[in-house]
Amino acid sequence: MRIGILTSGGDCPGLNAVLRGFCKCAFNIMEGVEIYGFIDGYAGLMNKNYRLLTPADVENILDIGGTILGTSRQPYKLMTVKEGDAPTKLQVMVDNYKKLKLDCLVTLGGAGTHKTASLLSVEGCNVIGLPKTIDNDIYGTDVTFGFHTAVDIAAGAIKRIRTTADSHSRVFFVEVMGNKVGWLTLYAGLAAGADAILIPEIAYDEEKLAQFICNKKAQSRSVVIAVAEGALSSREAAMSKKERKEYLSAFESGSAAEKLCALMTQRTGMQCRATVLGHIQRGGEPCAYDKFISTEIGAFGAHLAKVGRYGVTVCVRNNKLSYNMLVDIAGKTKRVPADGQLVLLAKDMGVYFGE
């Protein structure tokens, strides 16, 4: 059996652990299996840039951040766009899959990667997706690998911000990644005891937020607010894309936390500061949970390849590994339910969500 494997989209801790889990299991359970690692994600498949992976390649990589194969972002909409007489990127990949006589392609990636994986599968390639992303926004799985490490990093950073905020009696906005969903901010904010958590799924009211900050500051030395990079005020949420762009151009920085810092300094007259955590949330060694779940997801993927279960992506449902059909989840986003248990419990204990 000849398997192609690639890591695509933004990296995260756990990619190497999944590669190791998949390869070790595949080498053990499938006699004579050949595994080709494509370099830099789908770009490797498009350019036939790959290397044969040996058992030695995946030894001692469980703890290592990033990906030994490299990764890149391949925008979904460009996959099927035709430029002149040249075949589309999708067609090039399908052709290369056939030319390389692959029996199966394993894709480690997030939402964009899954859209492309689904397209390849519809075109007749045997694809198995493995759910990666610090955003935890892949539809149909309770958790994605990489998410819990990012939660640990972001929560640790927010906790550190608290001590400096207390010392200086300041208001802090800590910006957490997560693209257009608030899972990472919600988990990290709760784990770090943030006073308020602002996520894209719940638009905040600027005036009420200013009032909350003033009330909170009257009772405690500091106010620490976890802000998702995609958080929006109700004013912004009502704007068109173009209007929002114009509105944001009035600020020195388009970052959600820096914008809030400027707005709330103006409204409250307090000393506000912004910290944007950025890519530190994606780097370094995976936490123990991610090492565990990545290993399991990888090994489960190898079993799916062995039995020829294709057109699927692995998921974790109620602590059990399973799979969804790629076509059923591609293009869908798992968002934080605004009236879900996590948010309601947090509200009950006084965490403010900006409404």
Please identify which residue in 10, 44, 298, 354 interacts with ligand F6P, judged by CB under 6 A: 10
Pick from 154, 162, 110: which is nearest to 334 by CA? 110
54 phi and psi, to 5 degrees?
-110, 165
Please identify which residue in 37, 90, 132, 135 interacts with ligand F6P, judged by CB under 6 A: 135
46 token code pair: 């498009």
- CB-nearer residue toward ligand F6P: 10 or 311: 10
User: Which residue in the shown chain puts its C-beta closest to ligand F6P?
Assistant: 177
Gyration radius of the chain over CA positions:
22
Say if CB 38 and CB 69 are below 8 A apart: yes
Say if CB 328 and CB 322 are below 8 A apart: no
- Sites for ligand F6P among residues 12-71 (CB under 6 A): none
Minimum CB distance to ligand F6P, residue 25 (Å): 26
> Does 135 qualify as catalytic in the annotation?
yes
Minimum CB distance to ligand F6P, residue 79 (Å): 17
Helix H segments across the chain? 15-29, 42-46, 89-99, 111-122, 147-168, 183-192, 206-219, 234-237, 241-248, 256-268, 288-307, 326-329, 341-348
d(CA 36, CA 299): 17
- CB-nearer residue toward ligand F6P: 23 or 177: 177
Planar angle of CA 42, 48, 52, nearest 5 degrees = 95
**Site string (166-205) toward ligand F6P, x via CB under 6 A:** -----------xxx--------------------------
- CB-nearer residue toward ligand F6P: 110 or 189: 110
Contact call for residue 282 and ligand F6P (CB under 6 A): yes
- CB-nearer residue toward ligand F6P: 14 or 178: 178
d(CA 199, CA 76): 25
Stretch of 117-125, 132-140, 255-263, 336-344 contacting ligand F6P, by CB under 6 A: 132-140
Stretch of 131-139, 165-173, 189-197, 321-329 contacting ligand F6P, by CB under 6 A: 131-139
Minimum CB distance to ligand F6P, residue 71 (Å): 10
- CB-nearer residue toward ligand F6P: 181 or 213: 181
Question: 157-169 as b/e, with b when 16 or more CB fall inside 10 Å?
Answer: bbeebbeebeeee
Stretch of 53-61, 129-137, 164-172, 291-299 contacting ligand F6P, by CB under 6 A: 129-137
Minimum CB distance to ligand F6P, residue 281 (Å): 7
183 token code pair: 């899972």
Q: Which of 40, 135, 137, 290 is catalytic?
A: 135
For residue 109, the cross-strand partners are: 131
- CB-nearer residue toward ligand F6P: 8 or 268: 8
Pick from 126, 145, 106, 79: which is nearest to 23 by CA? 106
Minimum CB distance to ligand F6P, residue 9 (Å): 7
Q: How far is CA 157 from the centre of its chain?
A: 18
Planar angle of CA 35, 41, 46, nearest 5 degrees = 90
- CB-nearer residue toward ligand F6P: 58 or 150: 150
- Sites for ligand F6P among residues 227-246 (CB under 6 A): 229
How many residues sit in the footprint of ligand F6P (CB under 6 A)?
A: 11
32 token code pair: 């004579």
207 token code pair: 């005036």
Provide the annotated active-site residues.
Answer: 135
Task: Report the interface residues with ligand F6P, using CB under 6 A.
Answer: 10, 73, 110, 133-135, 177-179, 229, 282
